[in-house]
């Protein structure tokens, strides 16, 4: 009699165990359809899911700079089979500002979770006034100040993480009474292992992200440390920005003693001329490895007056294609990637605006 009770129980237990083993661990957003806005004047142009980054972009054909928030967006989101997101009620997302990024935690059928991030892309770039900064932790384990609300939410990046191992941060906020600017400086970096220095380290601020793996793998090629560009669908005619620039005292050219090894030092030569800053933007259409440049706006400038000056830099269009990405770059030394510049060169920028 006992055997008749135990055997069916074991069979049921094994069936349940097998069923649990087969539950999916996928916690993805498969699609997102926008079904409505709390503001009827908003115009949806597209949505884009970047699965490998767990990000969703909602593109609007509007300028939300002076928009009244909160903004409610009603969605029809489809998740992986068996997955769900408890934080979404009736498919509604509420944004408190155009700069806010919504985090959605998706729970898979087997209970594992994955965080997804929802961005609004409109006619201006998130945090274009450079007001928002957060506290990050560098490779030296110490805290430093970085652009944006958080590392994953910011559409802007700097090279601070790469130089953090030497406690050097070339791009920092400059706080005024009621305003915050981005201060971008050219410095030099200590290499404690060889008791020497990298004699020129240009400060940068750019749309995209700093590629720490690329920086470590290619220490002699600063360009490999940057993944330029963010998703963007608009065609501005120009960009405005307020800036001030002071070139450093001594213009130098540093040359690697060994082109493949940064740790054996540089030969430094004083050269004629004055350092310049570089401000530019590029619109591109990207399709895998195929990249078409559509337009470029560029300003190279030496020392300016000691006040912020607003400039309008026109885009020169060379293609009629529609863009998928925009790259905006501010650099304190125009040839910093070639180890050329002046320590102390300082670029202040504020209030970037795309003109249509």
Q: CB count, 10 Å around CB of 338?
A: 14
Q: CB count, 10 Å around CB of 115?
A: 11
For residues 138 and 156, what is the distance between their CA atoms, to the nearest angstrom?
17
For residues 190 and 281, what is the distance between their CA atoms, to the nearest angstrom?
31
| Residue ranges covered by each domain of the chain | 29-121, 133-355
Would strands 309-314 and 238-246 be described as parallel, antiparallel, or unpaired? Answer: antiparallel
Q: Of 14-28, 87-101, 107-121, 275-289, which range is least confident?
A: 14-28
Q: Which pLDDT score, from 0 to 100, does residue 21 have?
A: 63
* Cβ-contact 148, 156 below 8 angstroms: yes
Name every residue whose Cβ is closer than 8 Å to that of residue 252 and which is 6 or more positions away in sequence: 199, 200, 268, 269, 270, 271, 340, 341, 342, 343
For residues 101 and 191, what is the distance between their CA atoms, to the nearest angstrom?
37
For residues 260 and 77, what is the distance between their CA atoms, to the nearest angstrom?
49
Q: Which pLDDT score, from 0 to 100, does residue 264 have?
A: 82
Pull the structure tokens for residue 55. 């990000």
> Is 2.60.40.2340 the CATH number for 29-121?
yes
Q: Of 10-14, 249-253, 311-315, 344-348, which range is least confident?
A: 10-14
Q: Which residue has the higher pLDDT, 206 or 23?
A: 206
Pull the structure tokens for residue 179. 């305003």
Q: Which CATH number is 133-355 given?
A: 2.60.120.890
Model pTM score: 0.90
Q: Using the predicted structure, report yes or no on whether residue 9 has a pLDDT greater than 70.
A: no
* Cβ-contact 126, 155 below 8 angstroms: yes
Q: Which pLDDT score, from 0 to 100, does residue 194 have?
A: 46
Average pLDDT, the chain: 91
* Cβ-contact 332, 163 below 8 angstroms: no
Q: Of 15-29, 49-63, 86-100, 256-270, which range is least confident?
A: 15-29
Among residues 161, 101, 102, 110, the alpha carbon closest in space to that of 132 is found at 101
For residues 158 and 171, what is the distance between their CA atoms, to the nearest angstrom?
7
**Running DSSP on this structure, what letter comes out for residue 53?**
G
């Amino acid at each position: 009699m006992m055997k008749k009770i135990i055997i069916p129980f074991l069979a049921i237990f094994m069936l349940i165990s097998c069923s649990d083993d087969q539950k999916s661990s996928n916690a993805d957003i498969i699609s997102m359809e926008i079904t409505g806005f709390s503001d009827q004047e908003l115009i949806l142009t597209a949505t884009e899911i970047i699965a490998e980054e767990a990000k969703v972009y909602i593109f609007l054909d509007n300028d939300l700079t002076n928009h009244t928030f909160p903004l409610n967006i009603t969605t029809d989101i489809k998740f992986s089979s068996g997955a769900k997101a408890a934080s979404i009620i009736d498919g509604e997302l509420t944004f408190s500002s155009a700069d806010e990024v919504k985090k959605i935690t998706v729970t898979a059928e087997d209970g594992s979770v994955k965080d997804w991030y929802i961005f609004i892309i409109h006619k201006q770039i998130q945090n274009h006034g450079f007001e928002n900064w957060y506290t990050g932790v560098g490779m030296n384990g110490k805290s430093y100040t970085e652009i944006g609300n958080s590392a994953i939410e910011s559409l802007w990046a700097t090279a601070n993480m790469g130089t953090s191992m030497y406690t050097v941060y070339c791009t920092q906020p400059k706080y005024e009474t009621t305003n915050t600017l981005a201060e971008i400086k050219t410095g030099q970096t200590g290499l404690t292992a060889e008791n020497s220095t990298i004699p020129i380290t240009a400060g940068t601020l750019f749309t995209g992200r700093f590629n720490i793996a690329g920086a470590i793998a290619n220490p002699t090629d600063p360009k490999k440390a940057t993944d330029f560009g963010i998703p963007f669908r608009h065609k501005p005619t120009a960009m405005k920005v307020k800036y001030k620039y002071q070139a450093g005292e001594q213009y130098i050219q540093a040359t690697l003693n060994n082109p493949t090894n940064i740790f054996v030092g540089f030969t430094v030569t004083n050269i004629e001329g004055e350092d310049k800053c570089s401000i530019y933007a590029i619109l591109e259409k990207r399709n895998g490895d195929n990249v078409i440049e559509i337009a470029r706006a560029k300003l190279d400038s030496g020392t300016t007056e000691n006040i912020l000056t607003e400039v309008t830099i026109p885009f020169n269009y060379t293609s009629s294609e529609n863009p998928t990405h925009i790259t905006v770059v501010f650099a304190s030394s125009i040839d910093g990637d070639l180890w050329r510049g002046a320590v102390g060169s300082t670029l202040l920028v504020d209030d970037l605006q795309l003109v249509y």
